[in-house]
Amino acid sequence: MTVTHLERRGSTPLERLQLLLHRRPTISPLVVLIVASAVFGLASDRFLQPSNLSLILQQVAVIALLAVGQTIIVLTAGIDLSVGAMMILVALVMGAFGGPLGWNGIVVVLLGLMLGGLAGGLNAFLVVRIRLPPFIATLGTLNIFVALALILSGGRSTPGTDLDPFLTWTATAFAIGDFRLTMGVVLVLLVYLVVGFALSQTAWGRHIYATGDDEPAAHLTGIRTRRVLTSAYVLAGVICGLAAWALIGRVGAATPNSAVDANLDSITAVVIGGTSLFGGRGRLAGTLLGALIVGVFRNGLALMRVDVIYQTLAIGVLILLAVSLDQWIRKGRSAS
């Protein structure tokens, strides 16, 4: 059997790089993360200390979780502006049931996951049945979920001390060597492993990619694209429920005032992680790297006593660079 590679168009170093980045989309965020960590490590003695690295992990946990749901949606060529709102809605409902109403914590968490799935189901209904563009559909539900959260909670926070211990279990810390991790961080890694496996090793994952790549073509191939899209939005909702649980642990309360930027931060992590907003391209591992990059930049610049405004500026530049890189990679490979 002669399996020879076809002659690749282009053999300049730049074109080879383009091809490599196309085949291995996690390389560029990995390089950015390593370089950034090295630079911040040189700039500040504290940056690379285990305590600081542990802190970064805890800081990015919630966004990293939301970004898992966001990645699934973006892979289907959609976008979910409502992930942060879903999380806050679930967090407040969990706070109400687990606090004043005194429900059992495990039941409340399960309830929260169901509520997240239900909220995701509403997005799925609007996108798949009513055929609204995902941007519009989730812009609408973003406002609805935030309003619902405030109506249901009356805008009140429930402090962690009033909550069933299981709801703040995600804040439980333990040490591995000099590193201090929380159960929330473990939860994040578990979700990445499970969803990453599903995306890369199962037919469902292939169908997510195929649907995002070219929905009409995927439909003609026999893929039930509406079902695939529905599963994506519902799963994203459930993951937002998990993020709500992590958020309560992280903040130490169920409060409507936390994580206001979570929506955009989740999209930032996805984009910097190399997933294409045009759908069908990207890796979940890239999203984890993207979330870490944002965390490393914010933390590193803060240690260098750079004003928070400049941190935001740096993130903005990163986003534009990441998307430009994606465009360049795509341009090089789709021509034939």
Partner 1 sequence: MTLQTDPTTMASAAASGASTPAGGRAPLIEARGIAKAYGAVVALDGVDLDLYPGEVLALIGDNGAGKSTFIKCLTGAVIPDTGTIKVDGQEVRIRRPQDARDAGIETVYQQLSLSPALDIATNLFLGREIRRPGFRGSVLRMLDVPAMRREAREKVQDLGITTLQDITQAVETLSGGQRQAVAVARAVAFGSKAVILDEPTAALGVRESRHVMDMVTQLRARGLGVILISHDMQNVFEHADRIQIMRLGRRAGVVSPRTHTMQQTIAVMTGAATLDADGRVVPSDEAPSGATS
Closest CB to partner 1 among residues 250, 283: 283
Residue 209 is a binding residue for partner 1 (CB under 8 A): yes
Residue 5 as a binder of partner 1 (CB under 8 A): the answer is: yes
- 238 within 8 A of 68, measured Cβ to Cβ: no
Q: How far is the CB of 277 from partner 1 (least distance, A)?
A: 14
- Of residues 103, 125, 166, 204, which one binds partner 1 by CB under 8 A? 204
Going by C-alpha positions, the residue among 19, 225, 232, 282 that lies closest to residue 121 is 232
Which range touches partner 1 (CB under 8 A), out of 45-53, 152-160, 202-210, 312-320?
A: 202-210
DSSP string spanning 298-334?
HHHHHHTT--HHHHHHHHHHHHHHHHHHHHHHHHHHH
Cα gap 37→149, rounded to integer Å:
38
SS3 (DSSP) at 179: strand
Alpha-carbon gap, residue 138 to 122, rounded angstroms: 9
* Contact mark string toward partner 1, 224..243, x via CB under 8 A: x-------------------
> Nearest distance from residue 217's CB to partner 1, in Å?
4
Of positions 65, 91, 191, 223, contacts partner 1 by CB under 8 A: 223
By CB under 8 A, is residue 64 in contact with partner 1? no
Of 183, 198, 182, nearest to 71 by C-alpha is 198
Residue 13 vs 222, nearer CB to partner 1:
222
* Binding test (CB under 8 A) with partner 1, winner from 49, 202, 324, 327: 202
Q: Which of 255, 65, 288 is CA-nearest to residue 168?
A: 255
Return the residues of window 105-124 that contact partner 1 according to CB under 8 A: none
Residue 131 interacts with partner 1 (CB under 8 A): yes or no:
no
Tell me how far apart the alpha carbons of residues 72 and 284 are, in angstroms, rounded to a whole number: 8
Phi and psi torsions of 101, nearest 5°: -80, -15
The window from 85-93, 196-204, 250-258, 294-302 that contacts partner 1 (CB under 8 A) reads 196-204
Contacts of residues 194-200 at CB distance under 8 Å and 24 or more positions apart, as own/partner, are: 195/68, 195/72, 195/235, 195/239, 195/284, 196/283, 196/284, 196/285, 199/72, 199/75, 199/284, 200/283, 200/284
Distance CA 318, CA 273 (A): 11
Which one of 51, 143, 161, 201 is in contact with partner 1 (CB under 8 A)? 201
Total number of residues binding partner 1 (CB under 8 A)?
A: 32
Choose the binding region for partner 1 from 10-18, 117-125, 203-211, 305-313 (rule: CB under 8 A). Answer: 203-211
Closest CA to 274 of 6, 8, 38, 74: 74
To partner 1, the closest distance from the beta carbon of 71 in angstroms equals 15
Which residue among 17, 103, 219, 314 contacts partner 1 (CB under 8 A)? 219
CB of 225 to partner 1, least distance (A): 10
Residue 74 beta carbon to partner 1: minimum distance, rounded to whole angstroms = 14
Q: The tokens of 200 are what?
A: 């890369």
Please give the DSSP secondary-structure letter assigned to residue 125: I
If one asks whether residue 203 binds partner 1 (CB under 8 A), the answer comes out as yes
In the complex, minimum distance from the CB of residue 221 to partner 1, in angstroms, rounded to a whole number: 5
Q: Which of 197, 313, 321, 324 binds partner 1 (CB under 8 A)?
A: 197
Residues that bind partner 1 (CB under 8 A): 1-6, 22, 197, 201-204, 206-207, 209-210, 213-214, 216-224, 280-281, 333-334, 336
